[in-house]
Amino acid sequence: MQGIVEFLTGKQQEMLQTLQQIVERESPTLDKEATDHLAEFISGLFEELTGGKADIIPNGEYGNHVRGEYGNGEDQILLLGHFDTVWQKGDIHQKVPFRVVDDIAYGPGVFDMKGGLVQGLYALHTLKELNETINKKVVFLFTSDEELGSPSSQRLIEEEAKKSSCVFVLEPALEGALKTARKGVGIFKLRIKGRAAHAGVEPEKGLSAILELGKQIVYLHELTDYSIGTTVNVGKVSGGTTVNVIAEEAEADIDLRVKTQAEFDRIIPIIKNLPSHINDVEVTVEGGVNRPPLERTEAVAALFNTAKKLAKEHLGFSLLEKETGGGSDGNFTAPFAPTLDGLGAVGSGAHALDEHLIISEMPRRSALLALLLKEVSK
Ligand SMILES: [Zn+2]
């Protein structure tokens, strides 16, 4: 019987064609008509390639999502991917045309993360074609709004994660490595209210919100501690009305990154309860966790070690793992089920003009995923 690796190696050209079809259906997050169109196409592809059932999940504001179901069993494994991109409609004709140069494919969203979708679809296709029975149900979620922070898909992703024994995220690999840790993200809005006064006539009556803001910025940035991976960044500020007025109001947007939930528990109260440095100035902070951390728990490490072993034994390469400060939908699933991220395309240039993937890695990574699905459903 033909093995998974050989079967997929023979599918490289077909996978590339499928990638092209998905990439040519451009899907900017905010273009509902375009993303709906691609959702329809992916739903058809899923049924055709896997023999499973795909449902369109209607979405009022953003593009519709797609939920594919393959196989059956008591337990569930979740495959996660998004089909929206940061590119605009028409970019494929000018800025980032789809093109193939030797072993590299360029185009909008090839790396982040349409290549990963193709790999996921073909992993299931391979299991089906080779009659590899897996005794778990695989749910494959294709979402439309990840590049915006998944406002309409977060709930759906969390609900499916709760029902799953593990989650495989098809976001791009990081220099070929899987992602076994992603930082959690906190977002806050700092508002400061002082008292206005004429800067020349009676400045002593004023309480400068901008001065207070300056002190707060210094304090906040000093909360950064690289030794534990905690970073705080005030990324946007505004305040005041005009040059000769002591500023009554000022505000700032704060980005917090941490490695663990325990660190969130420690630092969020500090940020939410900032004392004022100037008497009688009002300081308020709103906000909180935007994405929980994907922590490298023992269960995550075990999943990675399984993948590493499979890569070595069947594909002859050393799979590496990395951590990143950037978030993905894997952050949402991590609190509910062990999550292995970065199982998608190998390449680079996400969100950049040279976005590309390595074509010959598509069947390889797809095989890795198929082997992994088989292994964890034993
Ligand atoms: Zn992505």
d(CA 333, CA 339): 7
State residue 191's pLDDT score.
98
Is a pLDDT exceeding 70 seen at residue 1?
A: no
Q: Are 158 and 336 in contact (CB under 8 A)?
A: yes
Beta bridge partners of 348: 356
Q: Which of 148, 142, 152, 79 is nearest to 114 (CA)?
A: 142
Upstream peptide bond of 15 is cis (omega within 30 degrees of 0): no
Active site annotation includes 14 = no
151 Cα to the center of ligand 1, angstroms? 14
Q: For 43-72, b where at least 16 C-beta lie within 10 A, e where not — what string?
A: bebbeebbebebeebebeebbbbbbbbbbe
Q: Are 365 and 176 in contact (CB under 8 A)?
A: no
Split at pLDDT 50, 70, 90, the class of 378 is: confident
Phi, psi of 195 (to 5 degrees): -140, 130
- Model confidence pLDDT, tens digit, residues 138-148: 999 999 999 99
375 Cα to the center of ligand 1, angstroms? 26
The angle at the Cα of 313, spanning 311 to 315, to the nearest 5 degrees, equals 50
Choose the catalytic residue: 26, 31, 36, 84: 84
State residue 133's pLDDT score.
87
Choose the catalytic residue: 26, 31, 112, 146: 146
* Dihedral of alpha carbons 195, 200, 201, 205, sign: positive
Pairing assessment for the beta strands 65-70 and 137-143 based on DSSP bridges: antiparallel
Q: Are 186 and 268 in contact (CB under 8 A)?
A: yes
State residue 218's pLDDT score.
98
371 Cα to the center of ligand 1, angstroms? 23
Q: Which of 107, 113, 106 is nearest to 144 (CA)?
A: 113
Percentage with pLDDT > 90 across the chain: 98
Domain range annotation of the chain: 4-182+293-376, 185-291
Residue whose tokens read 């922070």: 149
191 Cα to the center of ligand 1, angstroms? 32
82 Cα to the center of ligand 1, angstroms? 7
**Domain at 4-182+293-376, CATH from 3.40.50.150, 3.40.630.10, 3.40.50.300, 3.40.50.1370:** 3.40.630.10
> What does pLDDT average to over the chain?
97
Split at pLDDT 50, 70, 90, the class of 59 is: very high
- 3-state SS track over the chain: CCCHHHHHHCCHHHHHHHHHHHHHCCCECCCHHHHHHHHHHHHHHHHHHHCCEEEEECCCCCCCEEEEEECCCCCEEEEEEECCECCCCCCCCCCCCCEEECCEEECCCHHHHHHHHHHHHHHHHHHHHCCCCCCCEEEEEEECCHHHCCCCCHHHHHHHHHCCCEEEECCCCECCEEEEEECEEEEEEEEEECECEECCCCHHHCECHHHHHHHHHHHHHCCCEHHHCEEEEEEEEEECCCCCEECCEEEEEEEEEECCHHHHHHHHHHHHCCCCCCCCCEEEEEEEEEECCECCCHHHHHHHHHHHHHHHHHHCCCCCEEEECCCCCHHHHCCCCCEEECCCCCEECCCCCCCEEECCHHHHHHHHHHHHHHHHCC
Is a pLDDT exceeding 90 seen at residue 45?
A: yes
346 Cα to the center of ligand 1, angstroms? 13
114 Cα to the center of ligand 1, angstroms? 9
13 Cα to the center of ligand 1, angstroms? 24
Tokens for 2? 């033909």
d(CA 85, CA 151): 15
- Model confidence pLDDT, tens digit, residues 204-244: 999 999 999 999 999 999 999 999 999 999 999 999 999 99
Amino acid at 31: D
- Model confidence pLDDT, tens digit, residues 321-355: 999 998 899 999 999 999 999 999 999 999 999 99
Q: Which of 117, 97, 111, 108 is nearest to 46 (CA)?
A: 117
Domain covering 185-291, topology: Alpha-Beta Plaits (3.30.70)
State residue 197's pLDDT score.
97
Active site annotation includes 31 = no
- Model confidence pLDDT, tens digit, residues 94-106: 999 999 999 999 9
